[in-house]
Chains A and B, each alone.
Chain A
Amino acid sequence: MSHTGRTMGSAIRITNGRVYDPANGVDGCVQDLCIQDAKVVAEVPADARKIDATGMVVMPGGVDIHCHIAGPKVNLARKLQPEDKRLDVVPSTPYTRSGSGGIIPSTFATGYRYAAMGYTTAMEAAVTPIGARHVLEELHDTPIIDKGFYVLLGNNVFLYRLLKEGRREEFREAVAWWVNATKAYTVKLVNPGSDELWKGRRNANISDLNENIDQFDLTPLDVIRAFIETVNDLGLPHPAHIHCNNLGHSGNATTTLDTMRAAEGRRVHIAHVQFHSYGGEPGKNPTSRGPEIADYINSHPNITADVGQVMFGKATAMTADAPLAHLLKGVSGNKWVNADTENESGCGIVPFTYQEKVYVHALQWAIGLELFLLSKDPWRILLSTDHPNGGSFTMYPKLIRLLMDREFRNDEIRKVNQRAIRKTILGDDLAREYTLSEIAIISRAGPARALGLKDKGHLGVGADADITIYEDDPDREKMFSTPRYVLKDGKLIIADHEFRADHEGRILHATPAYDPDIEKAIRPFFEDYYSIRFDNYAVSDRYLHNHQVIPGQIIPAVQPQ
């Protein structure tokens, strides 16, 4: 570790680490890892700088497939909660900017905290198209990690009109245009159909996937089908990313199953599925239908999901699902933000605290664990807290310990509302303990594969040199909280647990082909119903800074297993 002045362009050999690289079938083998510039390579010159990883665990950098870390709603939630930041300060260091922490850290603190946990990629999961410039500006100020965002199109009035009129070809072109115009990674649907009722019918919501969306002669199910099909046809690297209808409502597992069935074997990602796995009657206390949802995902290889685990403590409901946030305002009595975006989206924000002794909160916590523990394919049921909705991303190490350490888990289970536990399978002393390899899958290899990021989530030759080195520790929470070394693009960012450099990560985005003529159809709608000019809407390349276009992939529909 003598040369501190080296930057990118150097060769590094990580020696004697126990490597967990499940994508390449490497399961804890002691081997060297070579890095040249920003990539993993087969060999480096003998005078390459060495990092001695003897006795340590080497994994690809973590990849977060679903979090809320930047953009218009995140900044509102950040401004909303000064009380949450006073006690969690982030001083500057010789290498890094200062910031504030709490449940919604400042942008710099967000990047550093992901890196300090060994994560090197994170995807912001919900941005209004008109807010794309804003999210790109914030992501530019989110250091170290690579990042991208999913653009909200599931309540888009113009797209609804095309669907209503049966103009499917133009719908497809318009979706592709919007992804390009905003520099997004894929398409996000949130509670499809609800915005029109929320804004236009005195804060109503839609609860039935077959109900008509006011004047559109469309149902949420029509919208869901159209987007799943179109995003698959366009071959975006990641499929339609869906926040199902009825989030948080008792009995919503039925809606979730119907949504997944609508994919008919096509690729789809179900976001924070824990919040969508409830039994019981609407308006009454929920029960768990976690096992049923886990079964369905297990047997349908076209589906990926992130769990959206609830962790006890401070959270913030922050969602394009405005009716849900209004409901939580009523439940919690907390301050509330609602933010309508013309023709595109709704949004709600409510600070929230999950408590161990509260039946519903404990049940949500337990259902998340059920989903993890019943998962038969760690490549498809992925780690998330839907940060900050279920809890902070900084809780991932604790969540990993819950999955890896049966005794710790049972101790924690005993602390929470037992009436809730009895509604789940968690009281049965489940034996399953995730292995390090499985953790590497749910937190790196799996999300990278689901995102179509071929150079991430693994350590084979040609992979991005985003690498985390942990000191092995039976306390898995401690181990995963404080990696000894973190490399980003081959640059040593953290050594001996301390920052040694700053770094600007890349914006990851998709550029599906489209027919430019579609602009002729979109333009008049802007003139009538938007408040900015069509010509000022698309985001220019200037906002990309460091960036990388991720190529698409066409994956045919598959049959259930």
Chain B
Amino acid sequence: MSEIGQNLRVVEHATCTFCGCVCDDMDLTVDLDAKRITKAKNACTLGRAWFAEHTIEDKPPARIDGKPATTAEAIEAAAQILAGARLPIIYGLSDTTCEAQRQAVAIADLMHGNIDTTTSVCHGPSGIAFQGVGESTATLGEIKNRADLVIYWGGNPAESHPRHFTRYAVTPKGMYIPNGRKDRYVVLADVRRTPSAPVADLFLLVKPGRDFELLWALRALVKGRKIDPSIEESTGIPLATLETLVERMKSCRYGVLFFGMGLTMTRGRHFNSGAILALATDLNEYTHFVAKPVRGHGNVTGADNVVSWQTGYPFGVNFSRGYPRFNPGEFTTVDLLSRGEADAALIIASDPGSNFPKRAIEHLKRIPVIVLDAKDTDTTELARVAFRTATYGINTTGTVYRMDDVPITLRPAFDSPFPGDEEVLTALKDRLRVLLNEKRGGALRKAA
């Protein structure tokens, strides 16, 4: 339709934040007139779609009760809501920068509210398991360089993290993996044969809900215990297959167990995560072995890190007593909403309005909701105050953490007329401080 603008530029080494792979090798061709990315070299299909979809929409920067508003008006309205709430909650955070996440925790601290991230509905059980048993882990480059046995459990990276195989773990050549794919043995365990299955040398079709039993049997076999052949009946995998696999695990030089939400969000949850982490730990008595959750959102790992360093706990943190407390099930967002306890919500770069359980969504509809998002969602629909913000990595810089805790700085492609999350949250925090100061009789001083 329209002419292609001549004002093109290429942003090299940009980062895709669409999934937890956080590929930092994007070379983006940007049409600065049309304000859109016309080409994303090296991106997978999901990444290409992510970059291509982003344009600057002709929409107001904010809405209050559905009516267009300025950012400043929306900040005032949002601050009034939060200042008047008794248990305000903050949720989301996995698709924004660490810089914005820092401000969000500061707001939760200031208003003695609750903060939680999408971790509580994806790899929260892995976080809990980590607290229980620890973890042997590695950065993805180490896996590229060394892993000769790669096991995926409960995930479908071919569709969810398309470059996980090619960039990090299966096909790339590495320092001690000179022939790439040929030098690795790949195993996939899942309850159905997904499009990821063809990559595997060995596919284990696990009976649904039987991951824990299977992992526990593997642990026992690693330790030289006897397992009853009835394991096949209960898990779907013959004992002989397990025995061969265990031999392979103990004799590889560098093994890795990747696991996804098929493991963490099914029957057993943190017991499943704990079992797989413990299996990797046990194997270190024989060889070198690591385990890694395959995290979904672009900066969910950053959210875990920021919330942890500021509060000591990774998600589900409550400040109502003036200091952080951690209790998943009590301070996790689905639970706070389903029990009807929260009386205001600040949702950042997330869409609980579409993916939370019905009871939680019903409560969201009853209370004043403030949303920061780059696009319209079910949650912006039900919001009292909705900010339209710039997209991280496309319009704003900032820091994201890849699923293996490697921090990367974003290189924005083009400017947005909308403010970034960090900017909005900082302004909101400053205004809220003034309001709360009045409310608490001048007790709050200007902090650094």
Contacts and interface: CB of A to CB of B under 8 A. Distances in A.
Interface stretch (B229-237, B351-359, B399-407): B399-407
B142 A137 contact: no
A89 B253 contact: no
* Size bin of chain B's contact surface: 35 or more
A79 B323 contact: no
A314 B75 CA distance: 45
B167 interface: yes
Interface in A189-205: 198-200, 202-203
Contacts of B76: none
Contacts of B132: 335
Contact of B447 (A79, A97, A349, A532): A97
A275 interface: no
Contact of B131 (A81, A202, A349, A540): A81
Given A326-B284, A533-B25, A536-B409, A100 B139 contact: no
Contact of B146 (A102, A141, A200, A540): A200
B405 A531 contact: no
B309 A138 contact: yes
B12 A535 contact: yes
Task: Label chain B's interface by main secondary structure.
Answer: mixed
Contacts of B137: 337-340
A157 interface: yes
Contacts of A337: 134-137
Contacts of A542: 397, 409
Contacts of A75: 305, 308-309
Interface stretch (A51-59, A127-135, A442-450, A475-483): A127-135
Nearest to B106: A97
B324 A341 contact: no
B175 A157 contact: yes
Contacts, number: 197
Interface in A88-109: 89-92, 94-100, 102, 104-108
B25 A530 contact: no
A283 B401 CA distance: 41
Nearest to B173: A528
Interface stretch (B54-62, B313-321, B333-341, B413-421): B313-321
Interface in A329-378: 335-343, 349
B227 interface: no
A133 B409 contact: yes
Contacts of A200: 146, 176, 253-254, 288
B444 interface: yes
A107 B175 CA distance: 36
A536 to B, nearest CB: 5
A423 interface: no
B422 to A, nearest CB: 12
Interface in A492-529: 501-504, 528-529
Contact of B138 (A98, A339, A504): A339
Contacts of A266: none
A133 B306 CA distance: 13
A104 B308 CA distance: 11
Nearest to B440: A94
B447 A502 contact: yes
A313 B401 CA distance: 34
Contacts of A95: 445, 447
A199 B142 contact: yes
A39 interface: no
Interface in A167-192: none
Given A198-B288, A335-B132, A99 B323 contact: yes
B314 A79 contact: yes
Nearest to B172: A531
A531 B139 contact: yes
Contact of B324 (A98, A143, A502): A98
A61 interface: no
B271 interface: no
A122 B393 CA distance: 34
A137 B323 contact: no
Contact of B310 (A108, A335, A504, A529): A108
B133 interface: yes
Given A100-B311, A335-B133, A341-B139, A90 B288 contact: no
A193 B395 CA distance: 44
A130 B139 contact: yes
A324 interface: no
Given A202-B288, A335-B134, A533 B281 contact: no
Given A106-B309, A203-B284, A529 B134 contact: no
A343 B106 contact: no
A78 interface: yes
A340 B146 CA distance: 11
A82 B142 contact: no
Nearest to B128: A82
Contact of B311 (A99, A199, A540): A99
A70 interface: yes
Nearest to A540: B409
A544 interface: no
A360 to B, nearest CB: 22
A44 interface: no
Nearest to A83: B131
A460 interface: no
Given A75-B308, A100-B312, A531 B168 contact: yes
A289 B174 CA distance: 44
Contact of B141 (A92, A198, A342): A342
A72 interface: yes
B138 A340 contact: yes
Contacts of B15: 536
Interface of B: 12-13, 15, 24-25, 98, 102, 106, 109-110, 127, 130-142, 144-146, 167-168, 173-176, 253-254, 281, 284, 286-288, 290, 304-306, 308-314, 319, 321-326, 397, 399, 401, 405-409, 443-445, 447-448
The 7 closest A-B pairs by CB, nearest first: A342-B141, A100-B312, A531-B141, A335-B134, A340-B138, A338-B136, A133-B407
11 contacts: A75-B308, A78-B309, A97-B106, A98-B319, A130-B139, A337-B136, A339-B405, A342-B139, A342-B141, A502-B447, A533-B13
